Structures are given as C-alpha cells and as structure tokens.
A and B are shown apart, each in its own frame.
Chain A
Amino acid sequence: MSASLCIDVRTEDFDAGAELARLEALGGGGVASFTGVVRGGNGLVALELEHHPAMTLNMMTRIAEDACARWPLLGVTAIHRHGRLAPGERIVLVAAVSPHRAAALEATAFLIDWLKTRAPFWKKEHFDDGSSRWVEARKEDDDAAARWERR
C-alpha cells in the first residue's frame, strides 16, 4: 500500500491543525509533527526565504518517499513556505502517521533533518537597523542529517 503524500511549497500560511486532522483520518493511530516558526529577537523584523522552484517540490517529494521506504507510514505531510515572513509566522510543517509511535516520531525527525540539509531553500535575516544577512549553514544541522545516512 502506498502512503498518502501531501507536499507543498507556498507563500501563504497553512492550517497546521487541519493538516494533522487529515493525517489522523488516515487511521494509522499515531501522528507526529514538527512545526518551524520564525524566531524573533536580536532586532529581527523579517525572514526572507528563497528557493529553487524547479527543484524544491521534487526534492521534498523524494525525502518524503525516502521516509516511507524506511518506516511503515500511512501518510506524510511536508509544507514549506517561501517569501518574506515575520517573527512568529510558521515556516514549515512536517508530519507522519503510522500504527507505531516510534516510527511516526523518528520519521518526523528524519523529515525535518533532511529537509534542512537537502531541500533548496535559503534564509535571509532582516533587522530593524536596516541591515540584512544570509543565514549560514550550521554544522549541527549536517550532523543531525548524517545520523540518518544508511549504515
């Protein structure tokens, strides 16, 4: 049986509750999710997200299919926004549903770890003094993603 995939890249906000309810309705019994939200502080006024449109959906779909090949999942949701987002706005939602809670939780961690290191998005921070800077890739993110490499 193939899992139900919901993959989306969009500028508008998404309804996290409705997305999780859709996974609950698949009947697996265990739904896990991760929501990424723009962190404020240090004078941040906006986070600008750029992506490679011709590549993003395909990469996100491949990551979701990889999760389905590793864990017994009934459904996977991965939604990523782009454009200009204010502190407190949702950036990303990944979620998985499985008959087994460990599978749902592990698949969710896998999805966000690989999305962060393999999906072609770039973040730029804008500050209240008018300055801006591109976010640097973090070694911790690479380390987190590496733990899912096939051994």
Chain B
Amino acid sequence: MAIELLYFASVREAIGRSAESVSPPSEVISIADLVAWLASRGGGYAEAFAEPSRIRAAIGDRFAEPDQPISGAREIALFPPVTGG
C-alpha cells in the first residue's frame, strides 16, 4: 500500500523534495526499516539518512519511535531533531 512521505529541514534539502508517495517492499516493517530502505536508494537519500540515529519520525500527527511498525500508516514524516522555541 502506498505511503505518503513528508520530509522536513535538512532531510528535505538533501532529498530535494518535500513529499512523495512510496510503496515499500513487505520486509519493511518499522520506521527504522523504512529509513534504511530509503537510504539504500543512494544519492540524496543516502546523504539524508547517513546517520539514522539522528532521524526523527512522526506517523500522522504523533511522534514515532524507530521500532514502531508502519503498517496501516498513511502519512509518515521524517526529519532531524526539532529546534523550535
């Protein structure tokens, strides 16, 4: 099933787009799997996700941990640690 991905800040700039629709293979179970799968695309993706420990995620409008399953998710955002305030 297609998932809408949103990219923010340095992740968005490295990839060169702010959103895209993807259909990951069935072995992509968790947020961490998704990040690794995207990084394997190389180029800007490899750059954006070079340090997976520095990537944060949200499923819908809730933050999600790396081990959280993505099944059923319609929209997932990937971004660096937040720096507002």
Contact with B along A133-145 (1 / 0, CB 8 A): 0111100010000
- Asked whether any CB of chain A lies closer than 8 Å to the CB of B25, the reply is no
User: Is there an interface contact between A92 and B85, defined as CB atoms closer than 8 Å?
Assistant: yes
- Asked whether any CB of chain A lies closer than 8 Å to the CB of B26, the reply is no
- Asked whether any CB of chain B lies closer than 8 Å to the CB of A13, the reply is no
- Asked whether any CB of chain B lies closer than 8 Å to the CB of A122, the reply is yes
- Asked whether any CB of chain B lies closer than 8 Å to the CB of A7, the reply is no
- Asked whether any CB of chain A lies closer than 8 Å to the CB of B24, the reply is no
- Asked whether any CB of chain B lies closer than 8 Å to the CB of A151, the reply is no
User: Is there an interface contact between A55 and B83, defined as CB atoms closer than 8 Å?
Assistant: no
User: Is there an interface contact between B83 and A122, defined as CB atoms closer than 8 Å?
Assistant: yes
Query: With contacts A50-B8, A54-B61, A58-B61 known, is A122 near B77, CB below 8 A?
Result: no
- Complex Cα spacing A118 to B79, Å: 13
- Asked whether any CB of chain B lies closer than 8 Å to the CB of A36, the reply is yes
Q: What distance in Å separates the Cβ of B18 from its nearest Cβ neighbour in chain A?
A: 10
Most chain A beta carbons < 10 A, residue from B9, B10, B75: B9
User: Is there an interface contact between B10 and A121, defined as CB atoms closer than 8 Å?
Assistant: no
Of B6, B60, B61, B80, which is within 8 A of A122 by CB? B80
Q: What distance in Å separates the Cβ of A49 from its nearest Cβ neighbour in chain B?
A: 7
- Complex Cα spacing A50 to B85, Å: 12
Interface-forming stretch among A25-33, A68-76, A100-108, A109-117? Answer: A109-117
Q: Report which A residues bind B (CB closer than 8 A).
A: 36, 49-52, 54-55, 58-59, 80, 91-92, 112, 115-124, 134-137, 141
Since A50-B8, A122-B9, A136-B83 are in contact, a sample of 10 more A-B pairs with Cβ atoms closer than 8 Å, ordered by chain A residue number, is: A54-B60, A54-B75, A116-B83, A116-B84, A120-B8, A123-B83, A134-B80, A137-B80, A137-B82, A141-B85
4 closest Cβ pairs, A-B complex:
A121-B84, A116-B85, A137-B81, A122-B9
21 contacts across the A-B interface (CB closer than 8 A): A50-B12, A52-B79, A54-B6, A54-B61, A54-B75, A55-B58, A55-B60, A59-B61, A91-B85, A92-B84, A115-B85, A119-B84, A120-B8, A120-B58, A121-B83, A121-B85, A122-B79, A134-B9, A134-B83, A135-B83, A141-B85
Q: Report which B residues bind A (CB closer than 8 A).
A: 6, 8-10, 12, 58, 60-61, 63, 75, 77, 79-85
